[in-house]
């Protein structure tokens, strides 16, 4: 592989450009990403109201971002598997299931983080 001629600001520019393309593709192609993004758009302002410290705010926002990040990785896995071939293969199914499990674990983490912050803030008693 030829070494990249992009470095410094130029490299940052292209990395940012490709990341934005990835966000757009996830939004356009993945319904689950759109649902999770919609949930995040509700949860981010709620987090500002709920959080009693910067650490709590970072935990609440960070858990939401992790769900989106894992959804993008899961979508990337699915795209590669689908590109490889349309016939069923046990390993392809396993890869897709594991990607989905990663997203599910991040959703559980988000519920646990939000529940813990709400508990610490006295919402549950």
Residues with catalytic roles: 71
Contacts of 96 (CB under 8 A, 6+ apart): 77, 78, 81
Closest CA to 38 of 13, 83, 71: 71
Contacts of 95 (CB under 8 A, 6+ apart): 77, 81
CA-based torsion, 75, 81, 84, 85: positive or negative = negative
Greatest CA separation for the chain: 61
- Rounded CA separation 122/125 (Å): 5
């Amino acid at each position: 592989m030829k070494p990249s001629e992009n470095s410094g600001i130029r490299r940052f520019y292209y990395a940012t450009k490709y990341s934005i393309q990835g966000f757009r593709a996830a939004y356009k192609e993945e319904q689950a990403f759109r649902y999770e993004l919609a949930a995040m758009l509700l949860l981010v302002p709620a987090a500002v109201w709920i959080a009693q410290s910067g650490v709590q705010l970072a935990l609440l926002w960070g858990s939401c971002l992790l769900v989106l990040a894992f959804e993008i990785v899961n979508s990337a896995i699915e795209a590669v598997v689908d590109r490889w071939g349309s016939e069923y293969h046990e390993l392809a199914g396993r890869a897709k299931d594991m990607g989905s499990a990663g997203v599910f674990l991040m959703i559980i983490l988000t519920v646990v983080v939000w529940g813990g912050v709400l508990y610490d803030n006295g919402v549950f008693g």
